[in-house]
Amino acid sequence: MSIEQQNPVLRRPQLVVVDLDGTMVDSVPDLAYCVDVMRERLDMAPHGEAKVREWVGNGVERLVRRALVGTLNGEPDEELFNAAYPVFLELYRHNFSARSTVYPGVCDGLDFLVAQKFKRGCITNKAEAFTVPLLKDLDLYDYFDLIVSGDSLPKKKPHPLPLLHAAQHFHVAPEDSLLVGDSVSDVRAARAAGFQVVCTSYGYNHGEDIRISQPDAVIDSLAQLSDLIPDRS
């Protein structure tokens, strides 16, 4: 595995915040199951996991809208959406972690952050009702001192507010903070907030290579954070 960097060396941060879906957890199998059952209940053909994988990353409401029109952009009939969304939510309440898995190397990377005594947060666009149970079910919850979900604040990524909120919470300057994510939304949020940003090569970015968005580094595993971040001197 290799580390691709736009900058020669990352500055050692005081705060590291980590995205959830596509960065720590592959949640698409559960989301795809719920999308397809929802569509079947509405007498619509299922899409399958590969297609749903291209639509994840902006919260479940946006996912449902994409699933109804079958494209990344576009809007479904509002009456259809109002019928479909509660069905999806009810399905997902019972299937948010049944098929989801932690990516290889995630716990190694998080263990490194703990050992190095970084302040640690999880920032996701997933609603709190699903974020906290998912983190707990997959034994990731205790790694974090702060969890910011998609409905915790008035704005979510790519808006910088969640990142700036985390920096303020920990009394850390944005320039001393790092976001680890997987998508263009993460890069945009980090740039707007003044954070450094590292992205995974394997995440959810609507089928586009994350390198196009020019994060500070691209990694194949969170375990590589120990090679990327300077050790305490």
pLDDT: is 134 or 6 the higher one? 134
- Alpha-carbon span 186 to 167, nearest angstrom: 15
- Parallel, antiparallel or unpaired: strands 4-5 and 217-219: antiparallel
Amino acid at 44: M
167, 177 Cβ separation under 8 angstroms: yes
211 DSSP 8-state letter? G
pLDDT: is 121 or 4 the higher one? 121
Structure confidence by residue, pLDDT tens digits, 26-60 = 999 999 999 999 999 999 999 999 999 999 988 89
The widest CA-to-CA distance across the chain, in whole angstroms, is 61
48 DSSP 8-state letter? -
Average pLDDT, integer, range 87-101: 97
Domain spans of the chain?
Answer: 4-26+102-228, 28-93
Q: What dotted CATH number matches 28-93?
A: 1.10.150
pLDDT band at residue 120, thresholds of 50, 70 and 90?
very high
pLDDT in the model for residue 7: 45
Above 80 in pLDDT, residue 1? Answer: no
What's the fold here for domain 4-26+102-228?
Rossmann fold (3.40.50)
From the list 73, 29, 75, the residue with the least C-alpha distance to 52 is: 29
pLDDT in the model for residue 23: 98
Same fold, 4-26+102-228 and 28-93: no
- The pTM of the full predicted model, rounded to 2 decimals, is 0.92
> How far is Cα of residue 203 from the mean position of the Cα atoms in its chain?
8
Above 90 in pLDDT, residue 233? Answer: no
Above 50 in pLDDT, residue 87? Answer: yes
From the list 20, 103, 25, 32, the residue with the least C-alpha distance to 63 is: 32
19 is catalytic: yes
> Mean pLDDT score of the chain, rounded to an integer?
94
- Alpha-carbon span 63 to 35, nearest angstrom: 9
Structure confidence by residue, pLDDT tens digits, 146-182 = 999 999 999 999 999 999 999 999 999 999 999 999 9
pLDDT in the model for residue 8: 47
Structure confidence by residue, pLDDT tens digits, 68-85 = 999 999 899 999 999 999
**Backbone region of residue 26 per phi and psi (left: phi > 0; alpha: psi in -120 to 50; beta: other values):** beta
